Chain A
Amino acid sequence: MDIKDIIKPENLVYKKTDHMTDKVLSYCPGCGHGTAHRILMEVIDEMGVRADTIGVAPVGCSVLAYDFMNIDMQGAAHGRAPAVATGIKRCWPDKFVFTYQGDGDLAAIGTAETIHACNRGENITILFINNGIYGMTGGQMAPTTLEGMRTTTSPYGRDLESMGNPIKITELIANLPGVHYVTRQAVHTPRYVRRTKKAIFKAFDIQKNKKGLSFVEIVSNCNSGWKMTPNQSNIWMEDNMFPYYPLGDIKVDGKIINE
């Protein structure tokens, strides 16, 4: 049978959602950002809520997220996305508002805004992409960089004594009463992509029902910053990042899950 017989509109099972623009993603080959963007847009597409959704882009690799997500968006100052989202949501309580932030943006410079938006229980969704490094500026140490991990500003490996510990901000914010749902996922294999998409659905559903803040961390790769091929970086991530940042739900229905 010829392939041309298969490639017909009636046989289509998957194509990129039109909620993504046609612009070429500015991300490095194999970077999880693209996948995270796409499933987020798929959720908005499948829920049919584009006309009621406002996104907030961070500073970092995804600073141009609004070039790729074909929805109304605002670009926030570095770390301030949760404050920007608060301003939007307070004025438009019935709209869906999300922030999309990296680990430097959310867990270093924007820690105060993150903690307080969570503590107030702002009815927004925070998507947190954690790749343990500052990608855009060229691979510097992030608050989430693992012990011993080499970056351009920890060239001999992260030394806990002088540089502090990698911060588990997700566990930290899970303890705040205003936060309704906290989960940690990944997007490097089909199985995890499907799980993460479900988590984003759940997060938006929580927003719809005005139950409080929903927080989805995605542990992701930075093959350029880690200086590996994309597939090597995904294996390294499983071996090194996942033990320190274990995947799974951390808080569901306002209750912390005890393993």
Chain B
Amino acid sequence: MKEIRLMKGNEAVAEGAIRAGADAYFGYPITPQSEVMEYLMLEKPHERTGMVVLQAESEVASINMLYGAAGTGKRVMTSSSSPGISLMQEGISYMAGAELPCILVNVVRGGPGLGTIQPSQADYFQTTKGGGHGDYRLIALAPASVQEMFDFAGLGFELAFKYRTPVMIQTDGLIGQMMEKVELSEQQARITEFDQSWATTGKTPDRAQNVITSLDLDSSRQEQHNIHLQKKYQEVADNEVRYETFDSDDAEYLFVAYGSSARICQKAIELGRAKGIKVGLFRPITLWPYPMKELKAAAAKVKGILAVEQSAGQMIEDVKLATECNIKAEHFGRMGGMIPTPEEVLLALENKIIGGK
């Protein structure tokens, strides 16, 4: 018997973490993601699986608690929304440098600054192009449904430990707040069986001390560490690209969109096809690694691309990189927490791409 529940996106990612065998969650309230910790506190995962849930004094403390716990080999998660994720960037860079696995959930809201509490996708640059200091990458998963919010917790831990790197679940206030049917998977064991030889659990006589750090004052060694990281990121880029297409087989035009914008585009496709416009969707699921080759191949079959994102135009840069600017590609989006309607999206396709030669 499948276990099916009606849940909010924020609740689903929390339940997903419990069932994926998470050991700990550290977080700080911020709209529109507070339900993640609220749900965890209500659920008493300490009784269910032994999972620790702690409300920290700030996002800065949360990410550093994550660092400490992850450094002992535990499966850990935090969540926040844009301004809080900005506060965490220092710690995220440290975790990437120290090669610590974890899940970070960003339920994006409109910015810049304190901005608004409404949905946005304007943290694309922050997540995929750095965010913190130094040369590092985050694996970024962009769920477009409440089901994926649940599923990506498990997938996120799998990838985080496979590559010993932080994984960002990059979603937005719309997916976080909306309710949908979720099919729940079974509880996984909390005690993980991965290689813990690197973790700080107390030095035993049979091994040398383990140290978790991102510091090496010897530049030649630090460069070697950077080369090692880059190799790892290349491996991720080669193996972990995820995307999906929708109505793209006969498409003459493509929407490229992720997360909630991909949902809006699906409706715009319906409206467009009713008017005879053959339009499809290319949806990156991993924002990094971005599906460069796959988008290039898809773009070769169409006349133009409209990148739809609730931003001033961030992902469009990767669309242009992927297509090497060989195809007409424009951005359409709303900002500051405004959500585009399917009608607006279709109109933008008609004006900017179909009619706009």
- The short answer to whether A and B are in direct contact, CB under 8 Å, is yes
For the complex, is A75 an interface residue (Cβ under 8 Å from B)? yes
Instruction: Decide: A73 and B209 in contact? CB cutoff 8 A.
Output: yes
Shortest Cβ distance from residue A15 to the other chain B in the assembled complex, whole angstroms: 19
B141 at the A/B interface (Cβ < 8 Å)?
no
Q: Which residue of A lies closest to B204 (CB)?
A: A51
- Our pick among A74, A80, A95 for the contact of B61 (Cβ within 8 Å) is A80
> Residues 213-253 of chain B: 1 if any A CB is under 8 Å from the residue's CB, otherwise 0?
11101000000000000000000000000000000000000
B91: nearest chain-A partner, CB-CB: A77
**Are the C-beta atoms of B201 and A54 separated by less than 8 Å?**
yes
B214 engages A75 (CB within 8 Å)? yes
A72 at the interface (CB under 8 A from B): yes
- Beyond A63-B215, A90-B52, whether A116 also contacts B61 by CB under 8 A is yes
CA distance A64 to B215 in the complex (A): 9
- Docked complex Cα distance between A92 and B52 (Å): 10
> Quick check: A113 and B61 within 8 Å, CB to CB?
yes
Select from chain A the residue with minimum beta-carbon distance to B210.
A72
- Contact of A72 with B24 at beta-carbon distance under 8 Å, contacts A54-B72, A80-B91 already known: no
User: B-facing mask of A62-86, CB < 8 A → 1, else 0?
Assistant: 0110100011111111001001111
Q: Is B65 among interface residues, defined by CB-CB distance under 8 A?
A: yes
Instruction: Check A92–B213 contact: CB distance below 8 A.
Output: no
Query: Contacting A87 at CB < 8 Å: which of B57, B65, B98, B213?
Result: B65
Q: Which residues 185-240 of A sit at the B interface, judged by CB distance below 8 A?
A: none
For A, the interface residue count at a CB cutoff of 8 angstroms equals: 33
Q: How far is the CA of A87 from the CA of B90 in the complex (A)?
A: 17
Taking CB atoms, residues of chain B closer than 8 Å to A91 are 23-24, 52, 69, 72, 74, 76
A75, B71: Cα distance in complex, Å = 10
Q: Can you name the residue of chain A whose Cβ is closest to the Cβ of B23?
A: A91
CB-based contact B91/A75 at 8 Å: no
B201 and A83 contacting across the interface, CB-CB below 8 Å: no
**Chain B's nearest CB lies how many Å from the CB of A44?**
10
Contacts of A66 in B (CB 8 A): 209, 211, 213
Say what secondary structure dominates the interface of chain A. helix
Contact B211 A73 (CB under 8 A): yes
Most buried by B among A50, A51, A54, A64: A54
> Is A56's beta carbon under 8 Å from chain B?
yes
Report A150-203 residues with CB < 8 Å from chain B CB. Answer: none
Contact B66 A95 (CB under 8 A): no
Q: Give chain B interface residues in 176-203, CB to chain A under 8 Å.
A: 200-203
Given contacts A63-B215, A72-B202, A73-B209, contact A85 B68 (CB under 8 A): yes
Please tell me if B120 contacts chain A, counting CB pairs below 8 Å.
no
Identify B68's interface contact among A50, A52, A86, CB under 8 A: A86
Q: Of all chain B residues, which has the CB nearest A81?
A: B64
Contacting residues, chain B, for A53 (C-beta < 8 A):
202-203
Interface membership of chain B positions 20-31, coded 1 if the CB is closer than 8 angstroms to chain A and 0 otherwise? 000110100000
Q: Are A92 and B72 in contact (CB under 8 A)?
A: yes
Please name 19 pairs of A and B residues whose Cβ atoms are closer than 8 Å in the assembled complex, sorted by A: A64-B217, A66-B209, A71-B209, A72-B201, A72-B203, A74-B200, A74-B211, A75-B98, A77-B94, A85-B68, A86-B54, A87-B24, A87-B69, A87-B70, A90-B69, A91-B24, A91-B74, A112-B61, A116-B56
